Amino acid sequence: MRTKRYMQSVVILAVTSLMALGSAEAKSWNTMITSGTSWEDTAGDPIQAHGGGLLKHGDLWYWYGEDKRNGYFPSPGVSCYSSNDLINWKNEGVVCPIWVRDGESIVPNTPAEFQSSTRRAVMERPKVIYNDKTKKFLMWVHLEGYADGDPRYQISSAGVAFSDSPVGPFEFVDFFRPVPAELHKTFCEETSADQMVRGSTFRDMTLFKDDDGRAYVIYAAESNYTMHIIELTDDFCGVKPLVLGKTWNRILIGEHREAPAMFKYRNNYYILTSGATGWTPNAARMYTSGQILGPYSSLGNPCLGELSETTFNSQSTFVQPLQPDKGIFLYMGDRWTRDDLGDSRYIWLPLTFDGNDQPVLRWKDSWSPSSLTPQN
């Protein structure tokens, strides 16, 4: 009798648990990535992680990006989401906040230029890498700002912050232009007074950590006409002393590209870029080199099919290896909504290699990262 009642209760418990699990899963868990739709986090709020990038640490993925819920200004800072499947994302909050002082947004702990001025700061295209030696998480951003009454990009500098945890808080380290005026004068024809004094501009950027543990920053420099790639110091907080061809290089010279996303496949390096047309999408262009510092040669537009000339109405921000040995990567792009930047959408697509080892990007309405096989 006791056994029968016990078994009955076990069966009832199992059935009710399954029902609860089923309804919970049906309610809050997605199984596919669907580009271009409003992507909600596990709490049901639209994900705010624009111009972002991923970091895999431990069992979790972390997605860092620009929080544009207020549009361009005032910027809350850099947000972070975590996930174990790349599909369902938990909001970890604003992990690198912009301080607000006197009604103006300013970056925390910055030198006097920010503290004393009425400039408004914004952190664009944040990327985070982990330093195995120092056990710190390093965030680099394109730090930007406007001076009163002057709508041009004014700061155009690298911003660096660090944290002991992937979910912050990130503490601001410094902001600077990596290539100083003397070198800018030597290499660049552009003669703006600003760059002759403060160095070459630093705008759209990404970070890349190579298999040997060395890390690099790749960014649109020289008023966006040429990119720079520079090896980071061992602590990833700055750049190594600049020796052309040894610790840094000018690449994609005069090509006027933005939005770099770097990855490696079969010992070759790839940089995916956009053209420079503000918030309006344009055709992507891929570059490759056998040497990380280049020179890089163009492979043209990797997009195939309808909307390939506008990168499926998106702009690159990051490429994440998924099954790199099989040539399977994740393309992350932003479909900017110029008049409502907080409602900009995410375009995430498989980036694969065809039979001739050419990278290709095709549209997929919905897909699951775990079900990818080469060239599908």
122 backbone φψ class: left, alpha, beta (φ>0; ψ -120 to 50): beta
d(CA 363, CA 303): 8
d(CA 119, CA 216): 29
Verify binding: residue 231, ligand DGJ, rule CB under 6 A: no
Phi, psi for residue 221 in degrees, rounded to 5? -115, -175
C-alpha distances (whole Å) from 39 to each of 46, 225, 312, 335 are 6, 33, 17, 12
Instruction: Choose, by CB under 6 A, the member of 67, 104, 204, 231 that binds ligand DGJ.
Output: 204
Residue nearest to ligand DGJ (CB): 278
Site string for ligand DGJ, 280-319 (x = CB under 6 A): -----------------------------------x----
Q: Compare residues 138 and 341 and give the one whose CB is closer to ligand DGJ.
A: 341
Would you give the DSSP letter of residue 291?
A: S
Site string for ligand DGJ, 80-119 (x = CB under 6 A): ----------------------------------------
- Describe the strand order of the beta sheet including 257-265 as a list of residue ranges: 257-265, 268-275, 285-289, 297-300
Q: Compare residues 87 and 141 and give the one whose CB is closer to ligand DGJ.
A: 141
Q: Compare residues 87 and 284 and give the one whose CB is closer to ligand DGJ.
A: 284
Tell me the closest approach of the beta carbon of residue 125 to ligand DGJ, in angstroms: 6
Which among 278, 274, 277 is positioned nearest to 259, based on CA atoms? 274
Tokens of 14: 């199992």
Instruction: Choose, by CB under 6 A, the member of 41, 67, 124, 231 that binds ligand DGJ.
Output: 124
293 backbone φψ class: left, alpha, beta (φ>0; ψ -120 to 50): alpha
Which among 48, 29, 25, 28 is positioned nearest to 38, based on CA atoms? 48
Tell me the closest approach of the beta carbon of residue 160 to ligand DGJ, in angstroms: 18
Site string for ligand DGJ, 135-174 (x = CB under 6 A): ----------------------------------------
Tell me the closest approach of the beta carbon of residue 252 to ligand DGJ, in angstroms: 15
What residues from 22 to 51 belong to the interface with ligand DGJ (CB under 6 A)? 51
Q: Compare residues 279 and 363 and give the one whose CB is closer to ligand DGJ.
A: 279
Q: Compare residues 92 and 204 and give the one whose CB is closer to ligand DGJ.
A: 204
The site for ligand DGJ, by CB under 6 A, has a size of 9
The residues near 79 (Cβ < 8 Å, ≥ 6 apart) are 48, 49, 64, 65, 66, 67, 91, 92, 93, 94, 95
Tell me the closest approach of the beta carbon of residue 50 to ligand DGJ, in angstroms: 8
Which among 340, 343, 277, 334 is positioned nearest to 50, based on CA atoms? 334
Tell me the closest approach of the beta carbon of residue 48 to ligand DGJ, in angstroms: 15
Amino acid letter, 36: G
Tell me the closest approach of the beta carbon of residue 174 to ligand DGJ, in angstroms: 21
d(CA 90, CA 80): 9
What residues from 257 to 286 belong to the interface with ligand DGJ (CB under 6 A)? 258-259, 278-279
Please say whether the beta carbons of 361 and 299 come within 8 A.
Answer: no
In the complex, which residues of this chain contact ligand DGJ (CB under 6 A)? 51, 124-125, 204, 258-259, 278-279, 315
